[in-house]
A and B are shown apart, each in its own frame.
Chain A
Amino acid sequence: MNRGRVEDTGMTSVRPRTVSRSSWPPAVRMAVSLMLVVYLAAVIVPPLAGPPPASDLAMAALQPLRPLVGALFLGHGYRFFAPNPGPGHSIQWTMKMADGSTRQGSIPDRDADWPRLLYHRRFMISEKIAAFVPPPDAPADVRQQSRGEWQPVVKDVAGHLLHRYGGAQVTLQMTEHYLPDPEELIRSEQGGAEQGTDTVTPLGTYALAGAQPLTGLVPPAGTANR
């Protein structure tokens, strides 16, 4: 068995032939190589297959890999801040308590969510829901169609808030925080034109129906938005 120390982990483009060679038998290396090929496919194919745009070929290649990709948490697109860094989002909520009082909050809450990693975990809630919710000026059919995607997720968030704070009814709205361009910010600071405004999208009012918590959570008639 060759146990000579290797002086480099093989990161050079040209490798001397005198380095230690594997002590593993060929059959073992063959088996491990097959596993490596499958694993590398599970690493490379998911970012090829999504998020859109993606080819039909990549989508088809992903299908047999889904169990492995799912089991090892490899289904990532790695599109950090792509295609363009966009505006941030937050969800404001107003809760009606059983005694008639109201309570308000925000997801995330810069003042209350500490440490910063906890803030970021909650910030992801508003960012991920925002990805499903079209802007208020989107065509009516687009808004109607998308509701089936975002409303169950928002309903869960509303249910959690009601459960957490013991409220009777909660109204949520998504705020897209206006992102000024550099020139606009300079003009604004010089006392010129005002900056643009945040975009607010109602997400609906939710209440606990009946004695069963959450399972009976429904948007009250006439209050569900859009």
Chain B
Amino acid sequence: MSDLTLADAPPRRGSWLGDWLDAWNTFWFTPADPLPLAVVRIFAGALLTWASFVWWLDAEAFFSHDGWQRPENVWRMNDQPWQWSWYFAAGSAGMARVLAGITLAAAVMLTLGIATPLAAVVSLAGLISAVNRAPLNVFGLDDTLGMLLLAVAVGPAGAVLSVDRLLAPDIAADRPSVRANLAIRLIQVHLCVIYLFSGLGKLLGASWWEGTALWGAAANVQYRTLDLTWLASHPWIINALTLSTLWWEIAYAGLVWPRLTRRLFLAVAVPVHLGIGLTMGMMEFGLAMLTANMAFVPAPVLRRLLRPLLGRFAGTASHRA
């Protein structure tokens, strides 16, 4: 049974199971730079702040007893009793607004990195409470934010680029950690699952095979924020956009990992998600998906890009120390 240990050990050549365990250990438990997670925290926190503000604007309609969906009917769209929500315990309009405000405050704190571990947990609880209470009003943005916030709650998301870091400078705080790696890995794997099933689901539809599906999105007046009906005269462009989106989604789970193809797949994510955001009025969803894609950007690249900002944080921290 010694082959089954997860302890550090030199590679066991010839042991297939040992190689798998070694690969599992390396993948999940190698310490990683917390910077990518901190960047994800800032973007996810900002998106949650905006989303929470919009929930709060009409909190009575979304969450109160007299809202779009009465609490006793939520089971028709959710898997009760598992999909809990703190709004089930507070049905008045005033309490709905207060609880939505708590999520909003936690999201602001998370973005800035104030009491980050607590802010992350409250933000996640606030998001889950909102979406579980108002299933009639939920869409892909919420799925993606849930994935991001869970990872942010698991890892040391406030170790860098945070007020926490400024107020309590800990020289070791931004060193590689296993928790940082676990959190980023959770996003990476989950994102691959999302793209894979999104792509496979599209294979059930004839319009994706025919290369006409994006017309259905472009011509849908309810979604449209940018008039793309001029594409009607350019069917090959519709074909190319449809097929490239489809195969990019399906291939993402495999080809985002090798260095050779990673940049290409991350680069394509930008026009795909910004395009959806700009033309279909779902910019928040697009930005949330791009934030998730940032989990694949190597830490050294982020350090290079953010060097001036990181230097300012480090300078302030060491000055205080």
A33 and B140 in contact (CB under 8 A), knowing A70-B79, A85-B207?
A: no
Query: B205-246 vs A: 1/0 string, CB under 8 Å?
Result: 111100011111101111101000101110100100000000
A71 to B, closest residue via Cβ: B82
Contact with A79, one of B201, B229, B231 (Cβ below 8 angstroms): B201
In the assembled complex, B32 has its CB within 8 A of some CB on chain A:
yes
Residue of A nearest to B199 (CB): A82
Q: Report the minimum CB–CB distance from B246 to chain A (whole Å).
A: 10
Within 77-97 of A, Cβ neighbours of B (below 8 Å) are at: 77-90
Q: Are A6's CB and B66's CB within 8 A?
A: no
A86 to B213, CA, bound (A): 9
Q: Does B45 contact A (CB under 8 A)?
A: no
Select the residue from A40, A75, A85 with max chain B CB neighbours within 10 A. Answer: A85
**Chain B 185-203 per-residue mask, 1 if CB under 8 angstroms from chain A, else 0:** 1101110011001100110
**Known A19-B26, A23-B31, A26-B5; contact A75-B283, beta-carbon cutoff 8 A:** no
CB atoms of A84 and B29 under 8 A apart: no
B232 touches A182 (CB 8 A): yes
Q: Are A118 and B58 in contact (CB under 8 A)?
A: yes
CA of A72 to CA of B218, assembled, Å:
33
- Shortest Cβ distance from A11 into B: residue: B257
Are B257 and A13 in touch, CB under 8 angstroms?
A: yes
- Measured between beta carbons, the chain B residues less than 8 angstroms from A8 are 298-300
B156 on interface, CB distance cutoff 8 Å: no
User: How many angstroms from the CA of A152 to the CA of B68 in the assembled complex?
Assistant: 11
Residue interface mask B12-50, A partner, CB < 8 A = 1? 000000000000111111111100100000000000001
Given contacts A82-B205, A163-B66, is CB(A179)–CB(B219) below 8 Å?
yes
Among A138-146, A154-162, A199-207, A218-226, the stretch in contact with B: A154-162
Q: Say whether B1 faces chain A, with CB atoms less than 8 Å apart.
A: no
Are B138 and A124 in contact, with the CB atoms below 8 A?
yes
Interface bits A152-195 vs B (CB < 8 Å: 1, else 0): 11001101100110000000000001011111011000000000
Beta-carbon contacts of B259-289 to A below 8 Å, as 1s and 0s? 1001000000000000000000111100000
- Name the segment of B98-106, B114-122, B171-179, B311-319 touching the other chain: B171-179
Partner of A122, one of B24, B137, B216: B137
Contacts between the two chains (Cβ within 8 Å), count? 269
CB of A32 closer than 8 Å to a CB of B: yes
**Chain B residue with minimal CB distance to A17?**
B11
Min CB distance A60 to B, Å, is: 15
Whether B231 pairs with A182 at a CB distance below 8 angstroms is yes
A76 at the interface (CB under 8 A from B): yes
Asked, given contacts A24-B178, A108-B222, whether A82 binds B198 with beta carbons under 8 Å apart, the answer is yes
The residue that A43 contacts in the complex, of B131, B193, B217, B229, with Cβ under 8 A, is B193
CB distance B32 to A9 under 8 Å? yes
Q: Convert A7-20 into 0s and 1s, putting 1 for each residue whose CB lies closer than 8 angstroms to a CB of B.
A: 11111110101011
Q: Does A128 contact B (CB under 8 A)?
A: yes
Among A2, A40, A71, A214, which residue has its beta carbon within 8 angstroms of that of B189?
Answer: A40
Given A11-B257, A117-B54, CB of A33 within 8 Å of CB of B146: no
Question: Which residues of chain A are near B178, meaning CB under 8 Å?
Answer: 22-24
Contact B219 A160 (CB under 8 A): no
A7 near B204 with CB under 8 A, answer no
The answer to whether A59 has its CB under 8 Å from any CB of chain B is no
Nearest CB on B from A209, distance (A): 15
In the bound complex, residues from chain A placing their C-beta under 8 Å from that of B189 are: 40, 43
Is the beta-carbon distance between B205 and A6 smaller than 8 angstroms? no
Residues of A within 8 A of B157 (CB): none
CB closest chain-B residue, reference A213: B66
* Contact assessment for B283 and A116 in the assembled complex, using a CB-CB cutoff below 8 Å: yes
Q: Are A186 and B232 in contact (CB under 8 A)?
A: yes
Contact yes or no, A22 B225, CB < 8 A: no
Across the interface, do B233 and A186 meet the contact criterion of CB distance under 8 Å?
yes
Assess the B216–A116 pair: CB atoms within 8 A.
no
A161 CB, min distance to chain B CBs, angstroms: 9
Known contacts being A72-B150, A84-B207, A118-B58, is A123 close to B299, with CB within 8 Å?
no
B binding-site residues for A, Cβ under 8 Å: 5-8, 11, 24-33, 36, 50-51, 54-55, 57-58, 61-62, 66-70, 73, 76-84, 127-128, 131-132, 134-143, 146, 150, 172, 175-176, 178, 181-182, 184-186, 188-190, 193-194, 197-198, 201-202, 204-208, 212-217, 219-223, 225, 229, 231-233, 235, 238, 256-259, 262, 281-284, 296, 298-300
Q: Which residues of A contact B (CB under 8 A)?
A: 2-13, 15, 17, 19-24, 26, 29-30, 32-33, 36, 39-40, 43-44, 47-48, 53, 66-67, 69-90, 108, 115-125, 128-129, 149, 152-153, 156-157, 159-160, 163-164, 177, 179-183, 185-186, 213-214
